[in-house]
Amino acid sequence: MPDSKMDKSEKTITRDRLAELLNEDLSREYQAIIAYTVYSQVLKGAEYMSIADQLQIHAGEELKHALILSRQIDYLGKMPTVTPKPVKTSEDARQMPRFDLDNENDTIRNYRERVHQCEALGEFAMAEQIRQILVDEQDHQIDLATALGEDVPDLSSRR
């Protein structure tokens, strides 16, 4: 139906608004870099060794995403943000992968919306850049869900 939330956002998106949203995404990438860097070093115990190694890899991939987003924001004529979203920590080792998984779920939802917004503006190359980031983010989601012994969350119908 044409009055869905997604359709409205596609019709009203502007280059300035897209740059704002990409800056929010960039703040989330900074958050992920920090979280993955810290969590990969403080997770202890045999059950977390594999995911700790994966988190180090994820940190590098998140940096790559931040660079891509910064370039796209600059392309849109705006200044990339320098402020990360807050990073949660916990003494409970199981909570850190949980925080990461929750953040990845939000990130995936946002990037799916960004792809539609980019396409609504005719920014197809930018949409492809976001799709490539989505591939990594979904891999991170799989790694984290697996480490937590859970099924990968189905985000296809949630907004």
Are the C-beta atoms of 111 and 69 separated by less than 8 Å? no
Here the tokens at position 3 are: 């009055």
- Determine the pLDDT at residue 4: 45
* Residues of the chain where predicted confidence (pLDDT) is lower than 70: 1-11, 157-159
Domains and CATH numbers, the chain: 13-147 (1.20.1260.10)
- Determine the pLDDT at residue 11: 58
- Determine the pLDDT at residue 46: 82
**DSSP letters for 26-90:** HHHHHHHHHHHHHHHHH--SHHHHHHHHHHHHHHHHHHHHHHHHHHHHHHTT-PPP--PPP----
- Determine the pLDDT at residue 15: 97
- Determine the pLDDT at residue 5: 47
The reported pTM is: 0.90
Which residue, among 23, 22, 24, has the nearest Cα to 121 in the 3D structure?
22
Which residue, among 115, 104, 100, has the nearest Cα to 22 in the 3D structure?
115
